[in-house]
Amino acid sequence: MKKIYMTLVAVMFAVCANAQIYVGGNVGVASVDNGNDSETIYSFLPEVGYKFNDTWAVGVMLGWSKGSLQNVDGSLGYSGLQQTFEINPYARFTFVKSKLINIFCDGGIGYKHYNGVGDKYSVGLKPGIELKLSKFSLLAHVGFLGYQKEDADNGGEMSVAGFDFDSNNITFGVLYNF
């Protein structure tokens, strides 16, 4: 029995020796001018993850945003000032690797809560690209392929399945690799 435990400990050390932890995320500030009114939208999305090897990683992104819901996400039928909270765990598969650039796809689930308005759930894939700069990496995600469901507190419900690769669905971030 001791040999089995020692073998498991040795395997765990070997796996952990090749693994890396990374932290980072996205920060966004935008100013929207709607004719007479102008508004500033804020978002803060820290991220932490664990790289098993050059191909696979897992992580989670937590987020907060503030702004008019029609400018942040106009699909719940509410247009007032809103704060949101979101959590997005994912598994990352890197399928193109080079010394400078990686191309990957994040597969994950997401939950976003709009205070006093409703909730949004999602399951899908987000393709992305990583520019490796020593310990830092610059990331960009473009689009979404999957399923989204929105439940409004007033009883409204909407679901969408498909892909969304427009210019409004791009995020940029920075990661620090330990």
To the question of pTM greater than 0.95 for the whole model, the response is no
Query: Which range, of 34-38, 132-136, 151-155, averages the lowest pLDDT?
Result: 34-38
Query: How does pLDDT run across 13-71, given as a tens digit for each residue?
Result: 655 555 589 999 888 777 766 667 777 778 888 999 999 998 999 999 999 888 765 54
Positive or negative, the CA dihedral 106, 90, 168, 161 is: positive
The tokens for 76 are 């719940």
CA proximity to 59, closest of 77, 47, 72, 68:
47
Give the per-residue pLDDT at 56: 95
CA proximity to 141, closest of 108, 104, 110, 90:
104
Query: How does pLDDT run across 67-103, given as a tens digit for each residue?
Result: 765 544 545 555 566 788 999 999 999 999 999 999 9
Give the per-residue pLDDT at 72: 46
